[in-house]
Amino acid sequence: MRKTLKIMVVLLTVGMMCVSLSACTKTNKIEPVVGTELPKASENKTQSTHNSSIGDVGQAAIPKTDNTPSQSSTPTSFVTSIGKVIVIDPGHANRSNLELEANAPSSSVMKIKDGGGAAGIDTKTPEYLINMKVSLQLRDLLQKKGYTIVMTKTDNSVNLGNIQRAEIGNNEKATLVLRIHADSSENTTVSGASMLVPLPVNEGTKAIIDESNRCGRIILNSLTSEVGMKNRGLDPHSDMTGFNWSKVPVILVEMGFLSNPDEDRKLSDANYQAKLARALADGIAEALK
Protein backbone atom coordinates (compact mmCIF):
# COMPACT_ATOMS: atom_id res chain seq x y z
CA MET A 1 0.00 0.00 0.00
CA ARG A 2 1.13 3.44 -0.78
CA LYS A 3 1.11 6.09 1.85
CA THR A 4 1.15 9.72 1.24
CA LEU A 5 1.66 12.72 3.37
CA LYS A 6 -0.76 15.36 2.53
CA ILE A 7 -0.40 18.83 3.78
CA MET A 8 -3.14 21.31 3.35
CA VAL A 9 -2.61 24.77 4.46
CA VAL A 10 -5.31 27.30 4.16
CA LEU A 11 -4.33 30.70 5.31
CA LEU A 12 -5.89 33.90 4.31
CA THR A 13 -4.67 37.07 5.83
CA VAL A 14 -6.01 40.28 4.54
CA GLY A 15 -3.85 43.31 4.84
CA MET A 16 -3.60 46.65 3.25
CA MET A 17 -1.75 46.75 -0.05
CA CYS A 18 0.92 49.37 0.13
CA VAL A 19 1.58 50.61 -3.31
CA SER A 20 1.61 54.34 -2.93
CA LEU A 21 4.69 56.38 -3.53
CA SER A 22 5.03 57.07 0.15
CA ALA A 23 6.84 54.70 2.41
CA CYS A 24 5.21 51.38 3.11
CA THR A 25 3.97 51.09 6.62
CA LYS A 26 1.95 47.95 6.25
CA THR A 27 2.56 44.73 4.52
CA ASN A 28 0.05 43.18 2.31
CA LYS A 29 -0.40 39.50 2.75
CA ILE A 30 -2.64 37.08 1.03
CA GLU A 31 -1.56 33.62 1.93
CA PRO A 32 -1.98 31.13 -0.87
CA VAL A 33 -3.62 27.77 -0.50
CA VAL A 34 -1.08 25.02 -0.78
CA GLY A 35 -1.76 21.46 -1.74
CA THR A 36 1.17 19.18 -1.32
CA GLU A 37 1.38 15.51 -1.83
CA LEU A 38 4.69 14.00 -0.95
CA PRO A 39 5.37 10.48 -1.99
CA LYS A 40 7.38 8.46 0.48
CA ALA A 41 11.04 8.30 -0.37
CA SER A 42 10.84 4.54 -0.29
CA GLU A 43 8.17 4.46 -2.90
CA ASN A 44 9.11 3.17 -6.25
CA LYS A 45 8.05 6.34 -7.94
CA THR A 46 10.63 6.95 -9.66
CA GLN A 47 -4.94 42.98 -25.37
CA SER A 48 -6.22 42.34 -26.05
CA THR A 49 -7.67 43.13 -22.74
CA HIS A 50 -4.27 43.66 -21.27
CA ASN A 51 -3.21 47.16 -21.94
CA SER A 52 -1.00 49.33 -19.85
CA SER A 53 -3.81 51.22 -18.19
CA ILE A 54 -5.91 48.34 -16.96
CA GLY A 55 -3.46 46.46 -14.85
CA ASP A 56 -2.41 42.97 -15.70
CA VAL A 57 -4.64 40.60 -17.37
CA GLY A 58 -5.54 39.74 -14.25
CA GLN A 59 -4.53 35.70 -8.01
CA ALA A 60 -5.69 29.71 -3.32
CA ALA A 61 -7.06 26.25 -4.08
CA ILE A 62 -8.30 23.54 -1.90
CA PRO A 63 -6.52 20.48 -3.18
CA LYS A 64 -8.46 17.34 -3.65
CA THR A 65 -8.05 14.99 -0.77
CA ASP A 66 -8.18 11.85 -2.84
CA ASN A 67 -5.87 12.16 -5.76
CA THR A 68 -3.44 9.42 -5.00
CA PRO A 69 -2.12 7.90 -8.18
CA SER A 70 -3.22 4.34 -8.45
CA GLN A 71 -0.31 3.03 -10.48
CA SER A 72 1.94 0.60 -8.76
CA SER A 73 4.82 1.44 -11.09
CA THR A 74 6.33 4.91 -11.13
CA PRO A 75 5.83 7.17 -14.12
CA THR A 76 8.90 9.14 -15.13
CA SER A 77 6.97 12.37 -14.88
CA PHE A 78 6.32 11.69 -11.21
CA VAL A 79 10.02 11.37 -10.51
CA THR A 80 10.93 14.63 -12.20
CA SER A 81 8.05 16.49 -10.57
CA ILE A 82 9.01 15.79 -6.96
CA GLY A 83 9.91 18.95 -5.12
CA LYS A 84 8.81 21.27 -7.87
CA VAL A 85 6.34 23.95 -6.88
CA ILE A 86 4.05 25.34 -9.54
CA VAL A 87 1.91 28.36 -8.83
CA ILE A 88 -1.34 28.58 -10.80
CA ASP A 89 -2.86 32.03 -10.98
CA PRO A 90 -6.46 32.20 -12.23
CA GLY A 91 -6.97 35.62 -13.77
CA HIS A 92 -9.48 38.19 -12.53
CA ALA A 93 -12.39 37.94 -10.09
CA ASN A 94 -16.13 38.45 -9.98
CA ARG A 95 -15.55 42.15 -9.49
CA SER A 96 -12.86 44.55 -10.54
CA ASN A 97 -10.28 46.00 -8.18
CA LEU A 98 -9.63 49.60 -9.06
CA GLU A 99 -6.98 50.22 -6.41
CA LEU A 100 -3.63 51.29 -7.82
CA GLU A 101 -0.27 49.61 -7.48
CA ALA A 102 3.22 50.30 -8.76
CA ASN A 103 3.89 48.73 -12.14
CA ALA A 104 7.37 47.66 -11.08
CA PRO A 105 9.64 47.96 -8.03
CA SER A 106 10.80 51.58 -7.74
CA SER A 107 8.42 52.63 -10.51
CA SER A 108 6.23 55.72 -10.24
CA VAL A 109 3.84 54.28 -12.82
CA MET A 110 0.67 53.23 -11.09
CA LYS A 111 -1.78 50.75 -12.59
CA ILE A 112 -5.18 49.40 -11.64
CA LYS A 113 -4.97 46.08 -9.83
CA ASP A 114 -7.63 44.33 -11.89
CA GLY A 115 -9.75 45.86 -14.61
CA GLY A 116 -12.13 42.90 -14.56
CA GLY A 117 -11.31 40.80 -17.60
CA ALA A 118 -13.24 40.00 -20.75
CA ALA A 119 -16.58 38.30 -21.42
CA GLY A 120 -17.85 36.04 -24.16
CA ILE A 121 -19.22 37.97 -27.12
CA ASP A 122 -22.20 35.64 -27.46
CA THR A 123 -22.28 33.52 -24.31
CA LYS A 124 -21.50 36.51 -22.08
CA THR A 125 -19.53 34.12 -19.88
CA PRO A 126 -17.14 36.19 -17.75
CA GLU A 127 -13.49 35.40 -18.24
CA TYR A 128 -12.83 34.76 -14.54
CA LEU A 129 -15.20 31.77 -14.52
CA ILE A 130 -13.37 30.09 -17.41
CA ASN A 131 -9.96 30.90 -15.94
CA MET A 132 -10.91 29.31 -12.60
CA LYS A 133 -12.47 26.18 -14.10
CA VAL A 134 -9.40 25.46 -16.21
CA SER A 135 -7.06 26.35 -13.33
CA LEU A 136 -8.72 23.94 -10.89
CA GLN A 137 -8.60 21.09 -13.39
CA LEU A 138 -4.99 21.91 -14.19
CA ARG A 139 -4.19 21.83 -10.46
CA ASP A 140 -5.70 18.34 -10.11
CA LEU A 141 -3.87 17.01 -13.16
CA LEU A 142 -0.50 18.37 -12.02
CA GLN A 143 -0.96 17.06 -8.49
CA LYS A 144 -1.51 13.61 -9.98
CA LYS A 145 1.81 14.06 -11.77
CA GLY A 146 3.42 14.72 -8.39
CA TYR A 147 3.89 18.49 -8.46
CA THR A 148 3.22 20.67 -5.47
CA ILE A 149 0.60 23.14 -6.56
CA VAL A 150 -0.07 26.50 -5.00
CA MET A 151 -3.10 28.40 -6.19
CA THR A 152 -3.08 32.14 -5.80
CA LYS A 153 -6.81 31.82 -5.10
CA THR A 154 -9.72 29.42 -5.49
CA ASP A 155 -12.45 31.86 -4.59
CA ASN A 156 -13.79 33.97 -7.42
CA SER A 157 -14.67 36.74 -4.98
CA VAL A 158 -11.01 37.28 -4.07
CA ASN A 159 -9.69 40.04 -6.28
CA LEU A 160 -5.96 40.16 -5.81
CA GLY A 161 -3.62 42.79 -7.12
CA ASN A 162 -0.79 41.77 -9.37
CA ILE A 163 1.95 42.48 -6.83
CA GLN A 164 0.19 40.10 -4.47
CA ARG A 165 0.03 37.48 -7.20
CA ALA A 166 3.73 37.87 -7.94
CA GLU A 167 4.69 37.71 -4.28
CA ILE A 168 2.97 34.35 -3.88
CA GLY A 169 5.27 32.93 -6.54
CA ASN A 170 8.29 34.62 -4.98
CA ASN A 171 7.47 33.40 -1.47
CA GLU A 172 6.99 29.84 -2.75
CA LYS A 173 10.22 30.03 -4.74
CA ALA A 174 8.14 28.56 -7.53
CA THR A 175 9.69 26.59 -10.36
CA LEU A 176 7.07 28.21 -12.57
CA VAL A 177 4.12 30.54 -12.23
CA LEU A 178 1.40 30.04 -14.82
CA ARG A 179 -1.22 32.75 -15.08
CA ILE A 180 -4.45 31.66 -16.75
CA HIS A 181 -6.45 34.04 -18.96
CA ALA A 182 -8.61 34.30 -22.05
CA ASP A 183 -8.18 37.07 -24.59
CA SER A 184 -10.39 39.64 -26.27
CA SER A 185 -10.11 41.85 -29.34
CA GLU A 186 -12.25 44.38 -31.15
CA ASN A 187 -11.72 42.21 -34.24
CA THR A 188 -14.09 39.26 -33.81
CA THR A 189 -12.24 37.18 -36.40
CA VAL A 190 -9.02 37.07 -34.40
CA SER A 191 -8.46 33.66 -32.81
CA GLY A 192 -5.87 31.46 -31.16
CA ALA A 193 -3.65 31.27 -28.11
CA SER A 194 -0.63 33.33 -27.12
CA MET A 195 1.81 33.26 -24.25
CA LEU A 196 2.74 36.52 -22.55
CA VAL A 197 6.28 36.55 -21.18
CA PRO A 198 8.34 39.13 -19.26
CA LEU A 199 10.89 41.53 -20.70
CA PRO A 200 14.13 42.42 -18.87
CA VAL A 201 12.94 45.65 -17.24
CA ASN A 202 14.75 45.13 -13.91
CA GLU A 203 17.17 42.78 -12.17
CA GLY A 204 14.33 40.48 -11.18
CA THR A 205 12.97 40.00 -14.66
CA LYS A 206 16.44 39.86 -16.24
CA ALA A 207 17.03 36.72 -14.20
CA ILE A 208 13.85 34.98 -15.30
CA ILE A 209 13.28 35.78 -18.95
CA ASP A 210 15.25 32.86 -20.42
CA GLU A 211 13.42 30.23 -18.38
CA SER A 212 10.09 32.01 -18.81
CA ASN A 213 10.55 32.07 -22.59
CA ARG A 214 11.67 28.43 -22.71
CA CYS A 215 8.71 27.18 -20.65
CA GLY A 216 6.28 29.51 -22.38
CA ARG A 217 7.21 28.29 -25.83
CA ILE A 218 6.92 24.59 -24.91
CA ILE A 219 3.63 25.00 -23.05
CA LEU A 220 2.07 27.12 -25.80
CA ASN A 221 3.11 24.58 -28.43
CA SER A 222 1.52 21.81 -26.36
CA LEU A 223 -1.67 23.79 -25.86
CA THR A 224 -2.18 24.75 -29.48
CA SER A 225 -1.21 21.40 -30.98
CA GLU A 226 -3.24 19.26 -28.55
CA VAL A 227 -6.34 21.42 -28.55
CA GLY A 228 -6.06 22.39 -32.21
CA MET A 229 -5.97 26.17 -32.41
CA LYS A 230 -3.83 28.90 -33.90
CA ASN A 231 -0.47 29.45 -32.21
CA ARG A 232 -0.01 33.22 -31.93
CA GLY A 233 3.42 32.86 -30.37
CA LEU A 234 5.20 34.47 -27.46
CA ASP A 235 4.11 38.01 -26.58
CA PRO A 236 6.80 39.82 -24.53
CA HIS A 237 5.57 42.55 -22.17
CA SER A 238 7.36 45.19 -20.16
CA ASP A 239 4.17 46.63 -18.66
CA MET A 240 2.80 43.70 -16.68
CA THR A 241 2.90 44.36 -12.95
CA GLY A 242 2.65 40.66 -12.19
CA PHE A 243 5.74 40.03 -14.31
CA ASN A 244 7.77 43.01 -13.17
CA TRP A 245 7.52 42.07 -9.49
CA SER A 246 8.34 38.40 -10.09
CA LYS A 247 11.64 36.79 -9.11
CA VAL A 248 10.65 33.39 -10.46
CA PRO A 249 9.81 32.27 -14.01
CA VAL A 250 6.34 33.51 -14.88
CA ILE A 251 4.18 33.24 -17.99
CA LEU A 252 0.60 34.15 -18.85
CA VAL A 253 -1.43 32.07 -21.27
CA GLU A 254 -4.26 33.52 -23.29
CA MET A 255 -6.32 30.41 -24.11
CA GLY A 256 -8.28 31.89 -27.00
CA PHE A 257 -10.47 34.89 -27.78
CA LEU A 258 -13.77 35.48 -26.01
CA SER A 259 -14.43 38.07 -28.71
CA ASN A 260 -14.43 35.33 -31.36
CA PRO A 261 -17.86 33.64 -31.49
CA ASP A 262 -16.42 30.18 -32.18
CA GLU A 263 -13.78 30.35 -29.47
CA ASP A 264 -16.27 31.98 -27.08
CA ARG A 265 -18.60 28.99 -27.44
CA LYS A 266 -15.73 26.52 -26.99
CA LEU A 267 -14.30 28.30 -23.95
CA SER A 268 -17.65 27.92 -22.16
CA ASP A 269 -17.80 24.19 -22.94
CA ALA A 270 -16.80 21.86 -20.09
CA ASN A 271 -15.20 19.30 -22.38
CA TYR A 272 -13.14 21.99 -24.09
CA GLN A 273 -12.06 23.40 -20.71
CA ALA A 274 -10.90 19.90 -19.72
CA LYS A 275 -8.98 19.65 -22.99
CA LEU A 276 -7.27 22.99 -22.32
CA ALA A 277 -6.28 21.84 -18.83
CA ARG A 278 -4.86 18.53 -20.11
CA ALA A 279 -2.86 20.25 -22.83
CA LEU A 280 -1.44 22.79 -20.36
CA ALA A 281 -0.55 19.99 -17.91
CA ASP A 282 1.20 18.04 -20.66
CA GLY A 283 3.10 21.15 -21.71
CA ILE A 284 4.21 21.87 -18.15
CA ALA A 285 5.39 18.28 -17.67
CA GLU A 286 7.32 18.54 -20.94
CA ALA A 287 8.87 21.89 -20.00
CA LEU A 288 9.90 20.81 -16.49
CA LYS A 289 11.10 17.28 -17.17
Residues lying near Zn ion in the complex (CB under 5 A) = 57, 91, 117, 181
**Minimal distance in Å, beta carbon 92 to Zn ion?**
6
R_g over Cα of the chain? 18
Residue closer to Zn ion (CB basis): 258 or 285: 258
What lies within 8 Å, CB to CB, of 157 at 6+ separation is: 93, 94, 95
SS3 204: helix
Please give the C-alpha separations between residue 245 and each of 82, 171, 253, 287, in angstroms, as whole numbers. 26, 12, 18, 23
Taking CA atoms, 23 is separated from 20, 86, 202, in Å, by 7, 32, 21
CB of 123 to Zn ion, least distance (A): 16
The distance of closest approach from Cβ of residue 226 to Zn ion in the complex, given in angstroms and rounded to an integer, is 22
Least separation, in Å, of the C-beta of 131 and Zn ion?
7
* Integer Cα distance of 90 and 252 in angstroms: 10
Nearer to Zn ion, 128 or 147 (CB): 128
Report the C-alpha gap between 24 and 190 in whole angstroms.
43
How far, in Å, CA of 109 to CA of 95, rounded?
23
Exposure of 236 in the CB half-sphere (CA atoms within 13 A): 12
Q: Which residue, 34 or 163, has its beta carbon nearer to Zn ion? A: 163
Q: Which of 194, 191, 179 is nearest to 266 (CA)?
A: 191
Q: Residue 115 CB, nearest distance to Zn ion (Å)?
A: 9
Which is nearer to Zn ion, 48 or 77 (by Cβ)? 48
Q: What minimum distance in Å lies between the beta carbon of 62 and Zn ion? A: 23
Q: Considering beta carbons, is residue 32 or 126 the nearer one to Zn ion?
A: 126
- Grouping H, G, I as helix, E, B as strand and the rest as coil, residue 100 is strand
Distance of closest approach, residue 128 Cβ to Zn ion, in angstroms: 8
Comparison of 166 and 288: residue with beta carbon closer to Zn ion: 166
Nearer to Zn ion, 35 or 91 (CB): 91
Residue 91 CA to its chain's centroid (Å): 7
